[in-house]
Every structure is written in structure tokens, then in C-alpha cells.
Amino acid sequence: MPTDAAGIATASAEVDRVTALVAAAEEELARVTVLAEAAADADRAAQESLVAAQAAQVQTAAQLQTAIAATEVAEADVATLGREAFMGQQSLGAATVLLDAAGPEDVLQRAATLERLGVDRAERLEAVELVQDQQEDADAAAQTAVTQLDAAAATAAQADAAAQGELAAAQASYATAEAERAALAQQLLDAQVALLSAQGVEDAEAAATAAATRATEVATAGTGQLVTGRITSCYGSRWGTTHYGIDIAAPIGTPIYAPEGGVVLQAGPASGFGQAVYLQHPNGVITLYGHVDSFDVRAGQVVETGQKIAEVGNRGQSTGPHLHIETHYAGLYQDRQDPAPWLQAHGIDVGSCG
């Protein structure tokens, strides 16, 4: 093992070279993961739009039926009015009615009666016109709702197909990149051992291994507790899309703890994430924990800071085992902001994402 300056320089250069290769491999892993999650997010939004369109179609269909029923009642009333006029029950002319009057007072009373009958007929006819207009509006709204439902269904189907295609491609790319990263990680460890040995460090292998382990535990350093893993993707615009959370790679089954107490909004199946846990905290912020393999909480449950809520998994639109965490500030999937400040405020070290 070289111990001179030249040997140290050579070992250091090798560490730098392999470090760059590892970084490139990890960048590729992050890329395929983020793109798969972006496709899943678009799919989730499309499915939500479809559900909203279905509800709107049901509502407009009910309103149309109500309008049709009202129109039928009004038209039946007008038909009755027509029959009465035809049979002469309310069709006496004004002159005839007045000529038959017994005197001036009777003339005034009969004139008032005629006026009331005229107003009544006019109001009934106006009511028919009103409900007919309402039916036309309801019919137009129902037709629009059907069109929107068809469009939403088509968009949802396309989004789902795109998400599944993106996932399949991402998983294949991830497998290749992960194998390359693992091989490079071993090369990097060997290069670091060589460098430490050249520098005269005793038990260089143990020292290098300890340093590598610390580098993968950035997500649990500090006073808070979340999960032990390696941060692979931060929040923000990347590769032509927006990544709405932070990804932390960790083996399946790794415990996930609540960084802050709160109430469980949902725990179970979640579009795009396979399974997820959603916690609402005292200040209203909602944290999402996606792709979990299993969960230890239920909707409505109150959890405490540091309580185990789930375990890392590889479910849903996922390329490899990891935790995806988001922070929502105005309700579920509303005003999604960078989780890093919130996590740091709760004692969670997010490394380069901070």
C-alpha cells in the first residue's frame, strides 16, 4: 500500500473519480423515480377530476328530472285552464258580464273579478314559461356535464396508461442504475480504504465503512425522528416536472416515525402511492408519507411525536423502496410546499435539501 505523497494523491484522485460516478448513478435513480411519481401525480389529479365530473353529471341529471317534472305540472295546469275556457266556465266576455250586472256596485265587483281572473291566468302562463326556461337550462347543463364527463374519463384513461407505461420504463431503468450504483459504491469504499491507508489511518476499512454509514443517515440526524435512509430527491422542478416532496431511500420495513403529533386523516390505499399515511398537525399542516409497505395507525387516531406510524415500502408508482414525504398547507394536495423547512423546524436533518 503506497504511503508517500504520490500514493496519497493517486488514491485521492480515484476517490474523486468514483465519487463522481456514484453521484451520476444516484442522479439517474432520482430522475426515474421523480418521473414515475410525476406520472402518478398527474394520474391522481385526472382520477379526481373524473370523480368530480361524475358527481356533476349525477347532479345535473337530477336537476333535469326535477325541471321536467315541474314543466309537466305547469303544462297540465295550462291545459286545465284551456279546457275551462273552452267549456265556457271562465270565458264569458267582459261586456256580457257587465251588462248582466244588477247595478253600479255589481258592475264594479264583476270588473274586479274579471281583473283577478286575468291576473291569475297571466301568472299561470308566466309560470309555464319560467319552468320551460328552467328545463331548457337544466337540459343544457346536463348535456355539458355529459360532455365533460366523457372528456374527464378519456383524460383519466390516458393518464393511467401513461402512468403505468412510465412506471414500467422507470422500474427497468432503476434496476440497471441501482446495480451500477451498488457496484460503484463498493468501488468508492475500496478507494476510500486505500486513501485512508495511504494516510496512515489505523483500521482504514472500519473508518471508511463508518463514514459511509453516516452519509446514509442524514434523514434521522438532529433532534427529530423520521426514518433512517438516504435522501435521493429534493422538492422542486427537476427533469421537466415538479417533484412535490422529498424521497428517502431505505430498505423495505424500515420504521417511519411521526416528526410531530397530530390526527391521522387517512391510512391505507392511496392513488399513486399504493399505500400512504396522512397526518394533520396542530397548525393545520398535513404531512403525507407515501409508498409505505404497512401502517400502524388508522383514520381518526391521535398520534404523538416520535410514534411509529408506518414502514418503508415499494408500493404504487415506485421504482425502488423509499419514503416520499410531502407537506400540504391548505388541505389535501392544496398548496404543497417544500417539506425541508417544516422538517428542519422539527429537528429533522434533510442534508442537501435544506
What's the pLDDT at 214? Answer: 62
Which domains are present in the chain?
A: 5-189 (1.10.287.2610), 218-353 (2.70.70.10)
What's the pLDDT at 245? Answer: 94
What's the pLDDT at 145? Answer: 76
Sort 43 into a burial class: Cβ within 10 Å, 0-12 / 13-18 / 19+. buried
Residue with cell 399542516: 285
Beta bridge partners of 243: 236
Q: Please give the radius of gyration of the chain, using alpha carbons only, rounded to the nearest integer.
A: 36
Beta bridge partners of 322: 249, 313
**101, 20 Cβ separation under 8 angstroms:** no
Name the nearest CA neighbour of 253 among 342, 344, 314: 314
pTM: 0.64
CA angle at residue 218 from 213 to 224, to 5 degrees? 125
What's the pLDDT at 101? Answer: 47
Query: pLDDT by residue for the chain (354 residues), tens digit each?
Result: 445 677 778 777 877 787 777 777 778 777 878 888 888 788 888 788 888 888 888 888 888 788 788 777 766 765 665 555 555 444 444 455 445 545 555 444 545 554 554 555 566 666 667 767 777 887 788 788 788 878 877 887 787 777 777 777 777 777 777 777 777 778 777 877 887 787 777 787 787 777 766 655 555 545 578 998 888 889 999 888 899 999 998 999 999 999 999 999 999 998 889 899 999 999 999 999 999 999 999 999 999 999 999 999 999 878 889 999 999 999 999 999 999 999 999 999 887 787
What's the pLDDT at 83? Answer: 58
